Amino acid sequence: MVKAFLDINPASEGHALIIPKKHHETIYEIPDKELKRIIIVAKKLAKLYKRVLAAKAINLLQASGSEAQQDVFHFHMHLVPRHERDGLNLWYRSKPKIKAEFDETLQKIKQHIKEKAQR
């Protein structure tokens, strides 16, 4: 079962939290079936907000782990309706050092996938 409710500290009108009723701390623990339900509810809300709140777009945000700034340790996804020129900046800035290591990172990931497939 999935629940959705308005955030008490909204970034925009209609800012909602979508959560599984059953406790899962992060994305690492939540079963795929429940995660699929959450994203389906997010899509339904996004369509509703487009009609009812005239939202032009949405951001879906999710943090898993304290290093990712998770501060409520029950899996949840934020759906933030966006409007033209709303002034919100919810995006990240690229770090040149990490960008320079792109190929090395990609090779690490590919190697892990290859090794796992060979087991």
Residue 22 has a pLDDT of 96
The string of DSSP codes covering 38-94 is HHHHHHHHHHHHHHHS--SEEEEE---SGGGT--S-S--EEEEEE-TT---------
- The whole-model pTM stands at 0.84
- Considering the candidates 74, 76, 83, 112, report the single residue annotated as catalytic: 76
Residue 93 has a pLDDT of 75
d(CA 6, CA 16) in angstroms, rounded, equals 4
pLDDT category, 116, cuts 50, 70, 90?
confident
Instruction: Summarize pLDDT for 8-53 with one digit per residue, the tens.
Output: 999 999 999 999 999 999 999 999 999 999 999 999 999 999 999 9
Residue 91 has a pLDDT of 78
Residue 83 falls in the annotated catalytic set: no
The ranges assigned to domains in the chain are 2-93
Class of domain 2-93 as given by CATH: alpha beta
Q: What is the mean pLDDT of residues 77-97?
A: 86
Question: pLDDT above 90 covers what percent of the chain?
Answer: 71
